[in-house]
Amino acid sequence: MSEQFGFNLIRLAFLSLTTSYHLGKTWLENQQAPPGQLIDIDGYKIHLYTQGTGSPTVILDHSLGGLDGYFLIDKIAKITRVCIYDRPGYGWSEPSSKPRCTESIVRELNELLERAEIEPPYILVGNSFGSYNVRLYAHYYPEKVIGMILTDGLSETFMLKLPMALKAIKLFFLSGFLMSILGSILGLVRLLGHLKVFEFIKPDLRQFSPEVLERVKKSFYRPKHWLTMARELWNLEKSASQVKVANSFREIPLISIKAKTFFKRSPWNFYLPLNQVEEFREKMHTDLLRLSEDVSQLPASGSSHFVWIDEPQVILAAIEQLISNLSKQQSDKIRQKE
C-alpha cells in the first residue's frame, strides 16, 4: 500500500511540474507578437501571414490539424505573393463557436481576405482537407480565382461512402485527438515536443529550420488545437456534403498532386489496413480529375499524404507551372487580339 501511495505521489508531482511549466511557457508565448496580423472576424481573431510580392496571390489552406504553410511560405514568396492563415482554433487564431466545417471556413476566409485588403486574383492551394475548402471557395467566388492546386486532395463522392474499416480509422484518430486534449492540458505534448518525438516519428521534419518547426509545434502544445482537430474531423462528412456543389469548374486550371502512398509503412502504422486505404485513394484521385476541363495530375512519387513535408518542392513546382501556363494563355490572348 505504501509503495503504491509513493508511486501515485511521484506521478502527481511529475504532472504538477509538467502542467506548471506548460502554463508558464504558454503565458510567455502569449506575450510575443505573431509573425502576421490578427484580424477580427465576428468577435474572434484570425491570424493571417503574408509574404512576397506579385500577382496572382497564392492562398494556402492547411490540412486537417496542419499548419503546412509555415513549411512553404518562404519559398512560395520567392515566386509570388503568398498568404497563409491559421483556421480558428489553430496557431495564433482564436477558437470560433461556429461549426468547424467547410461552409463556415470558406465564409471566414473570404471575409478575412476582404478585411485584410488582399486583392484577387488568387491561386488556391488546398492540402488534404484544405482541398474541400478551396474548391467551395472557388465555387462561391469564381471571379476571384484563376487556378487551384489540390495536394493529395479528398473526393467527397467517396468520403461519403467510407467502408467500415476506414470509418474505424477515423474513429481511432478522433479518440487520439480527444486524448491529446488532456495530454496538452497536462503539458505532456509540450514535453514530447521538447524531446523531439515529433521529429523521431516523422524524420522529414528535420529538413526545416528549428524556428519554423517551433512555430508549428507550439500550436500542437495547446488544447484548443486538438479540440479543433476533433471538431473538424467530426464534421468531415458535413463538409463533404457541402462541397458536392463544387464539382464543375469548367476552364479554371486545376493541378491535382498525387502522393505515392497515404502512409509510408512504419512501426507506427503496421496495424492499419493500408492496402484498402490505397485502393480508396486511387478512386478519389480518378474522381478529382473530373473537376475541370483544364486539369492535370502531378505525381509526388516519393511522398506520403504529407506532401508539404515529404516533397514540398512538388507543390512549388505546381505553383510555378500554373503561373507559367496562365502567363502563356494571357500572352496568346493578347497576340490574337493584335
With respect to residue 194, please indicate whether it lies within any of the assigned structural domains: yes
pLDDT value at residue 268: 62
Residue 142 forms part of a structural domain? yes
What is residue 158's predicted lDDT score, i.e. its pLDDT?
86
Question: What is the average pLDDT value for the chain, to the nearest integer?
Answer: 91
Q: For residues 47-69, give the mean pLDDT.
A: 94
Position 4 pLDDT exceeds 80: no
* 213 located within any domain: yes
Q: Say what the pLDDT of residue 311 is.
A: 94
SS3 state at 214: helix
- What are the residues facing 178 on neighbouring strands? none
pLDDT exceeds cutoff 60 at 1 = no
Q: What CATH number corresponds to the domain at position 64?
A: 3.40.50.1820
The pLDDT of residue 228 is above 70:
yes
User: Would you place residue 263 in the very low, low, confident or very high pLDDT band (cuts 50, 70, 90)?
Assistant: confident
C-alpha–C-alpha distance, residues 116 and 163, integer Å: 42
The verdict on pTM exceeding 0.85 is: yes
Q: What angle do CA 135, 141, 146 make, to 5 degrees?
A: 70
Q: Considering the domain boundaries, does residue 153 fall inside one?
A: yes
State the pLDDT confidence band at 252, using cuts at 50, 70 and 90: very high
pLDDT confidence tier of residue 277, bands split at 50, 70 and 90? confident
At 122 the three-state DSSP class reads: strand
Query: Is residue 10 assigned to a domain?
Result: no
Q: Residue 39's pLDDT is what? A: 97
Question: CB within 8 A of 323, min separation 6: which ones?
Answer: 56, 79, 80, 123
Q: Which domain holds residue 41?
A: 33-337
pLDDT at 93 over 80: yes
Q: Is the pLDDT of residue 87 over 70?
A: yes
Burial readout 233-266 (b: 16 or more C-beta within 10 A, e: otherwise): bebbbebbbbbeebeebeebbbbbbbbbbbbbee
Question: What's the pLDDT score for residue 119?
Answer: 95
Closest listed residue to residue 305, CA positions, set 263, 256, 255, 257: 263
Q: Which three cell numbers stand for residue 46?
A: 484570425
Which sign does the torsion angle of CA 213, 219, 222, 226 carry? negative
Report if residue 157 sits inside a domain.
yes
Task: Please give the grid coordinates belonging to residue 296.
Answer: 492535370
Total tally of structural domains belonging to the chain: 1
Surface-to-core class of residue 11, CB atoms within 10 Å of its CB (0-12 exposed, 13-18 middle, 19+ buried)? exposed
For residues 75-93, give the mean pLDDT. 96
Over residues 144-200, the pLDDT tens digits come to: 999 999 999 999 988 888 888 888 888 888 999 999 999 999 999 999 999 999 999
pLDDT per position as a tens digit, 20-38: 999 999 999 999 999 999 9
* Residue 121 banded pLDDT, cuts 50, 70, 90: very high
User: Residue 66's pLDDT band (boundaries 50, 70, 90)?
Assistant: confident
Q: Is residue 24 part of a domain?
A: no
Whether residue 310 is contained in a domain is answered as yes
